[in-house]
């Protein structure tokens, strides 16, 4: 079974040379730490920066240079700043190659829910609805089940949706799944996790074809 | 040169009144019009509708207006950092319209650019699209979203001149350029008001035509919301 870092490491392998990537808050943010260093990738943050670098050194933080999580950041050579409309032009116009974000639920039809739990304080969707409605390539980073052990990989989402039919791939603590017309196709198992365990933790239709390899990190 | 310079924040905010709709730039606490917000708090105007990506924190940004119960409705994409906001929202004192961040930006830009509405894929099939016109283009579904209508836009830039030209710094740019010229009156505050002619015309982010009033803010706290640093090895 993977921890959050493990999920980030596995997703990092999906990032290819020349990609512009938008990372959501939480596990997706960790992905930046594990991208191969022999490829060129630029990270976009929807508040208006392309070419994000690491956190600043203590004393060098600048209130005018933050990421979408409102954290102080730095920029790398070649970086650019822009306004919010242009930022979402990059996203909506499909100039960003890969979007990695978290989810509360995903469904076998590609629906995703990650912004609202009825009855609880709603903080808002931020840029998530724009990202999922537009991106060609969306990978979801999430835990396979909730704290009560109930599946979050479903036939249909029960929570209010963020986007419909948009998720392409899901990386959880247990498995890598591809969203297909017929359901979730099991691509890889997490280290030490059996197909049986994945079946038990998945409420949505699970397609298992042949031997399922264990993922390498 | 058409002079937009006003001498004080009170002159800059002349004409504000109860029940108006304001646009306010900023993302989190970055690039917010600190001096205009302070003046709005002092003025006591109430019943406001505020279009702003976020709602500040308890003791800064729009949180200051919320604390005085001057805001009737917030139009935002993310409002998670404010206890007083949560209290007023849950008690029903405050009306909140949550909209996708890119849609928020584009509804400002549409107002600025003279488009009555735009079609966006964001929110299609979700509760955000409920009751709205949808249309298919090339096999994909889109939601009709209308341009905002606002009385004042309060924006903040790094540098500006009396002609109203603006230059922004870093990610403090965010919604500010989208809101400039998107309301009946745009009030720009800058950290530094430089002599006309000093800004390179090639490097201006927002031309003065979008700005009606400009002033240099008295002081900027520029508070950091999430200070994240790494240690030197």
Condensed to tens digits (0 to 9), the pLDDT of residues B202-214 reads 999 999 999 999 9
Any idea what DSSP says for residue A160? P
- What ipTM does this complex have? 0.96
User: What confidence score (pLDDT) does residue A4 get?
Assistant: 95
Question: Residue B87 and residue B92: Cα distance in Å, rounded?
Answer: 9
For the purposes of burial, counting CB atoms within 10 Å of the CB of B156, is it exposed (0-12), middle (13-18) or buried (19 or more)? buried
Would you say A215 and A189 are in contact if contact means Cβ atoms under 8 Å apart? yes
Is A150 one of the catalytic residues?
no
User: What confidence score (pLDDT) does residue A122 get?
Assistant: 87
Task: Say yes or no for a CB contact (<8 Å) between B77 and A124.
Answer: yes
User: What confidence score (pLDDT) does residue A39 get?
Assistant: 96
In the predicted model, what is the mean pLDDT of chain B?
97
Dihedral sign computed on CA atoms, order B92, B95, B100, B101 = negative
Using a CB-CB cut-off of 8 Å, the residues of chain B touching A69 are: 226
Lowest mean pLDDT across A22-26, A141-145, A159-163, B132-136: A22-26
Percent with pLDDT over 70 in chain B: 100
Q: Residue B123: which of A91, A121, A129 has the nearest Cβ?
A: A129
Catalytic residue, chosen from A46, A105, A108, A203, is A46
CA nearest to A180, candidates A207, A210, A203: A207
Using a CB-CB cut-off of 8 Å, the residues of chain A touching B34 are: none
Percent with pLDDT over 90 in chain A: 94
Count of helices and strands (H, E) across chain B: 6, 11
> How many other β-carbons are positioned within 10 Å of the β-carbon of residue A94?
11
Task: Say yes or no for a CB contact (<8 Å) between A65 and B171.
Answer: yes
User: What confidence score (pLDDT) does residue A119 get?
Assistant: 84
Strands (DSSP E) contained in B20-174 are 21-24, 48-51, 71-76, 95-98, 117-120, 134-137, 140-146, 152-161, 166-167
Nearest-Cα distance to chain B for A100, in Å, is 17
Q: Give B46's contacts (C-beta < 8 A, 6+ positions apart).
A: B18, B19, B68, B69, B70, B72
Over 90: is that where the pLDDT of A217 sits? no
Q: In 3-state terms, what secondary structure has residue A158?
A: coil
CA nearest to B75, candidates A96, A168, A196, A124: A124
Using a CB-CB cut-off of 8 Å, the residues of chain A touching B109 are: 85
User: What confidence score (pLDDT) does residue B90 get?
Assistant: 86
Q: What's the whole-model pTM score?
A: 0.96
Task: Say yes or no for a CB contact (<8 Å) between B29 and A70.
Answer: yes
> Each residue of A86-112: pLDDT tens digit?
999 999 999 999 999 999 999 999 999
Q: Residue A63: which of B174, B222, B232 has the nearest Cβ?
A: B222
CA nearest to B118, candidates B92, B142, B151, B93: B142
> Each residue of B67-117: pLDDT tens digit?
999 999 999 999 987 888 989 998 999 999 999 999 999 999 999 999 999
């Amino acid at each position: 079974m993977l921890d959050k870092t493990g999920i980030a490491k596995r997703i990092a392998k999906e990032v290819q040379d020349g990609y512009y990537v938008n990372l959501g808050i939480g596990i997706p943010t960790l992905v930046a730490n594990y991208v191969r260093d022999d490829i060129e990738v630029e990270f976009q943050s929807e508040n208006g920066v392309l070419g994000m670098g690491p956190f600043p050194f203590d004393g060098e933080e600048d209130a005018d240079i933050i990421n979408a999580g409102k954290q102080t950041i730095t920029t790398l050579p070649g970086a650019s700043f822009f306004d919010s409309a242009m930022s979402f032009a990059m996203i909506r116009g499909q100039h960003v190659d890969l979007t990695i974000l978290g989810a509360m639920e995903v469904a076998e039809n590609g629906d995703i829910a990650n912004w609202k739990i009825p009855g609880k304080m709603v903080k808002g969707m931020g840029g998530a609805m724009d990202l999922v409605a537009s991106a060609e390539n969306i990978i979801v980073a999430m835990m396979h089940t909730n704290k009560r052990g109930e599946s979050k990989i479903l036939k249909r989402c029960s929570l209010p949706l963020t986007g419909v039919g948009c998720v392409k791939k899901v990386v959880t603590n247990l498995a890598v799944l591809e969203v297909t017309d017929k359901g979730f196709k099991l691509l890889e198992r997490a280290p030490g996790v059996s197909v049986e365990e994945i079946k038990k933790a998945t409420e949505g239709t699970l397609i298992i074809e042949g031997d399922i390899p264990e993922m390498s990190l | 040169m058409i002079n937009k310079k006003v001498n004080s924040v009170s002159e800059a905010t002349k004409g504000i009144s109860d029940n108006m709709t304001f646009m306010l730039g900023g993302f989190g606490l970055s690039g917010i019009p600190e001096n205009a917000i302070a003046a709005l708090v002092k003025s006591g105007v109430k019943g406001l509708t505020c279009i702003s990506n976020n709602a500040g924190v308890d003791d800064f940004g729009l949180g200051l207006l919320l604390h005085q119960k001057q805001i009737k409705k917030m139009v935002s994409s993310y409002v998670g950092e404010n206890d007083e906001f949560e209290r007023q929202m849950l008690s029903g004192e405050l009306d909140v319209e949550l909209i996708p961040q890119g849609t928020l930006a584009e509804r400002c830009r549409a107002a600025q650019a003279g488009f009555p509405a735009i079609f966006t894929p964001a929110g299609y099939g979700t509760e955000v699209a409920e009751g709205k016109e949808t249309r298919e283009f090339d096999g994909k579904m889109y939601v009709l979203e209308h341009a905002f209508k606002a009385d004042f836009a309060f924006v903040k830039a790094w540098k500006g001149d009396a002609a109203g030209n603006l230059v922004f710094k870093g990610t403090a740019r965010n919604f500010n350029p989208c809101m400039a010229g998107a309301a009946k009156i745009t009030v720009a505050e800058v950290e530094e008001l430089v002599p006309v002619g000093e800004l390179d015309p090639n490097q201006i982010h927002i031309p003065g035509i979008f700005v009606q009033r400009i002033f240099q803010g008295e002081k900027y706290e520029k508070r950091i919301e999430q200070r994240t640093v790494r240690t030197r090895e």
